[in-house]
Structure 1
Amino acid sequence: MPARIRSANSSSGTGVLRNLNRSLVLKTLWQRPGLSRSELARELGLAKSTVSVVVAELLEEGLLREGEEMPGGVGRPSRALELDREKNLVLAWEISVDYLAVRLQNLMGEVRRGQDLELGPDPDPSACLDRLAQASRELLRGLGHSVYLRGLCLSVPGLVEPQHGHLTLAPNLGWQDLPLLEMLGHKLAQHRIRVETPPILENEANTAALGVYTLGEWRVANLAYLSLGIGLGSGLVLDRQLFWGSHGHAGEIGHVPLDPQGPPCRCGKRGCAETFVSLKAWRADPTEAGLERMADKLGLLLAQLLNLLDPDVVVLGGPLVEEIGPRLLPLARAAARRYALEQAARTAQIVLSPFGRDTAILGAGVLAIRAFLEAQRSGVGA
């Protein structure tokens, strides 16, 4: 994939301002596609001439495209602007506990192509990355040289340090202490896949939280996402921003102890939430009584989340939700109301993810898009 990175004048004041204006225009049209040049100028508080110059440059580079003429107004007809959905793509990779997935998404988060792969027992990290790179290369074939790969995000189920590209621990994969982003970079080079902005690594519950928040178009400030699968994780959007905590480990709700004398957990502790609420727990006791016990524990966990964070919305997703979500949800809601403070239980919505199994990987695509848009400030791709 060709990468276009030009940084002429980026060290000058003019270049810095130019890059900032590019980033602002692209981010605004990502959030509100269909604005005209005049509307962009008003929205951003910039001169119309400045916006026109930036838009002309972005149109020439293929990052924007013009739509139909907009009715009304005086003088030259206005045209709606939006990010080009055909030429600009990002890669989203997901390593889950029982499968691998690749999606090619455009800059509006829409999936162009995708592939899911089975994950065998005792998966090897290097082999997983190699298979993801091979699948990506196959998906990219036939798209032509006019397509630009703008970014990549890898989503994994474990403790990560995104700023260092390091996986600390993924207990349900049996992985620990891996320079995962460095390994990913080697695989991209081996398979001759060129990505314009540096790839990023993120926890799967975080990518899911951002994906469901952004693509689900929630008009709220605070959202919590619970990923219910082989394990149990959560991602938090607080004050409209993804929340990582001090070391990138916020949201490890699956290892909140619900019963210190309970079953052993793969993390080495006992009675963690994911020993009671997970696909593994359901498969061990797929009965009506088992469902009620699981819903009770989930309600207890939700009550702690509601009391502590006071979110507007809690979204439940993941393989367990795909399997029994409609049965589990009303029971868990009722249990949360029993255990939580009345005000917290009354004001928060508890809902199922509208994106099913793809919630995390769609969010990985969103993170890759956001990283590309932010990189425009420093002149990457400009």
Structure 2
Amino acid sequence: MRESVLEAVPRGSTRHLRRWHMARILETLCRKPGIPRSRLARLLHLSPSAVSEAVGELLSQGLLLERPLPPKGQGRPSVALEVEEEVNLVLAWEVDVDRMAVALMSLRGRVQTRRILPPSPENPQAALDLLVDATLPLLRGKRILAAGLSVPGLLEPHEGHLTLAPNLGWRDLPLGEMFQRALRSLGVGSIPFLVENEANAAAYGLYALGGWSVDHCLYLNLGVGVGGGVVVDRRVYHGARFHAGEVGHIPLDPEGPVCACGKRGCAEVYLSYRRWQAGASEELLREIADRLAHLTAIVLSVLDPALVVVGGPLAEELGERLVLEARARLPRYALGVHNPEQLVRSPLGREAALMGVGALAAARFVEHMAFGEVV
């Protein structure tokens, strides 16, 4: 969520420093493609020789491309630098109750290939095997730099341990290890990789790919369940035990229907996409909007985000109608300091988690280039 993942200067050899320069240049060109070496040196406060050395190595690795800029008067024409986006890609996997998905994306976030699969089976290994089978034909002629997996569950992101994914029926899994084994079966087991909660991945995507400008927001993924991704100072906030954002299990009515978690009247009981599919009507739309307004008021009071962003299958199905109806009801629940305009739709739509975890994988590759072990 930071403007840069490369804030700390690495300690070590000249080789460590050069890799840090390479990573900073790659990160800059992902945000600002088509600029020459001289401008890179000014933007990054590096010497021309340091830029030339790092760019030369990135070109030799095939990570950058050169193209001539239009001439300006006399003299030697400048050469613009761009990130290569056809061969060097990241792999993104999404596992969810209503679908699974595979995408190959460039470091800049352009989706080159996407495949949508049926809903996840209950057996987690079977789900990963299906994703492997769908991915393998896509890899011919491609170089996979990093990989990311998003799931709707409680995760410890550093180790990749999944505590619970109630809507998938998964619990207590070494998901990171399982993901790495799946990558090995694809022949890319040595690359940087990560697993992340779907709502956190989608929240990251708002900044990396959606051009988001606010520093604090909450992303609500309205699907089979309700997931939340909390952003504080442009960083995903995981919480003390990595369970921040579980807003789907905030009780809105203690006498309401039983939730999958065992409690009654949780937000996801009312805001479930399955519920809409089972009984779509104008009356149900108004009730869902009222529940969304209630939940939005709670998170506005607790977290004070600049925006509450809704996405996922239900938000896509109901579109702007859901947001407008919920905004109209928000003053009934929210404090006067909060504005109904703080509730908005995600610009990334249904693909938010898939694209967000791909963006996280790209950031992990750049970070690994800067700070990974030098051999």
Query: Do both proteins adopt the same fold according to a TM-score greater than 0.5, normalized to the shorter chain?
Result: yes
Matches within 5 A, 1:1-382: 12-72=12-72, 75-119=75-119, 123-141=122-140, 144=141, 147-189=142-184, 191-345=185-339, 349-379=342-372
Output the amino acid matched with 1:159.
L
> Structure 2 CA distance, aligned partners of 1:100 and 1:207?
15
Percent identity of equivalent pairs: 49
Equivalent residue number for residue 4 of structure 1: none
Q: Measured at CA, do residues 196 and 63 of structure 1 come closer, stay the same or move farther in structure 2, by a change above 3 Å?
A: farther
Q: Measured at CA, do residues 29 and 220 of structure 1 come closer, stay the same or move farther in structure 2, by a change above 3 Å?
A: same
> Structure 2 CA distance, aligned partners of 1:62 and 1:173?
40
Deviation at 1:73, TM superposition (A): 8.1
Deviation at 1:333, TM superposition (A): 1.1
> Structure 1 CA distance, aligned partners of 2:98 and 2:374?
36
Number of residue equivalences: 366
Output the amino acid matched with 2:343.
I
Unaligned runs of 5+ in 2: 1-9
> Structure 1 CA distance, aligned partners of 2:189 and 2:68?
32
> Structure 2 CA distance, aligned partners of 1:79 and 1:302?
50
Deviation at 1:84, TM superposition (A): 0.8
Q: Measured at CA, do residues 40 and 73 of structure 1 come closer, stay the same or move farther in structure 2, by a change above 3 Å?
A: farther
1:150 partner SS: strand
> Structure 1 CA distance, aligned partners of 2:171 and 2:137?
30
Deviations 1:116-171 (A, max 9, x none): 11126x52100000110111101113xx2xx3210000000111111111111000
CA contact (8 A) 2:19 2:54 kept: no
Deviation at 1:183, TM superposition (A): 1.2
* Structure 1 length-normalised TM: 0.90
> Structure 2 CA distance, aligned partners of 1:74 and 1:152?
46
Output the amino acid matched with 2:37.
R
Moved more, 329-338 or 167-176: 329-338
Moved more, 241-250 or 129-138: 241-250
Deviations 1:278-305 (A, max 9, x none): 1123234422222111111100111122
Deviation at 1:328, TM superposition (A): 1.2
Tell me the C-alpha RMSD between the 2 structures. Answer: 2.0
> Structure 1 CA distance, aligned partners of 2:345 and 2:115?
24
Output the amino acid matched with 2:314.
L
> Structure 1 CA distance, aligned partners of 2:74 and 2:158?
49
